[in-house]
Amino acid sequence: MRIDDSSGIRVLHLEAEGEPISTPDDASDLVGTAWSHNASLIAVPVERLDPEFFRLRSGVAGEITQKLVNYRLRLAVVGDISEHVEASGALRDFVWESNMGEHVWFVDDEAALTEKLASRAARRAG
């Protein structure tokens, strides 16, 4: 885990290795960790998410994202999810819609996250 500031946003970056995030309790643990570090955005590598997260019918994505949003935290899923998106039109739509908003983003890598944060900061300042 590491913390950094990007465009005025404090980001908690999780490591790719570790227990999978698959339940609302796991999301609660993330809330506690983010708050203890004054982070407002949690960057989670794709590898840390239970594969059920990407099967929208399972409800895992909804439970985890809702828990974080309820606590005013943002989530960035970092990594290649193209295989999941190709297999599910619903997931493709969810990713597109999420990336248009402010609370849940899907980005290819940390550089893309940094760019997205800078772009949003520029719009707010503009």
The CATH number for 26's domain is: 3.30.750
What pLDDT score was predicted for residue 30?
96
Phi, psi of 27 (to 5 degrees): -65, -40
State pTM to two decimals: 0.94
Regions in the chain scoring below 70 on pLDDT: 126
Q: Which residue from 36, 47, 115, 38 is spatially nearest to 77, judged by alpha carbons? A: 47
The total number of structural domains that make up the chain: 1
Q: Are 78 and 46 in contact (CB under 8 A)?
A: yes
What pLDDT score was predicted for residue 126?
67
What pLDDT score was predicted for residue 121?
82
- Long-range CB contacts for residues 86-94, cutoff 8 Å, separation at least 24: 88/54, 88/55, 88/56, 90/56, 90/57, 91/54, 91/55, 91/56, 94/56, 94/61
State which residues form the domain around 96: 2-125
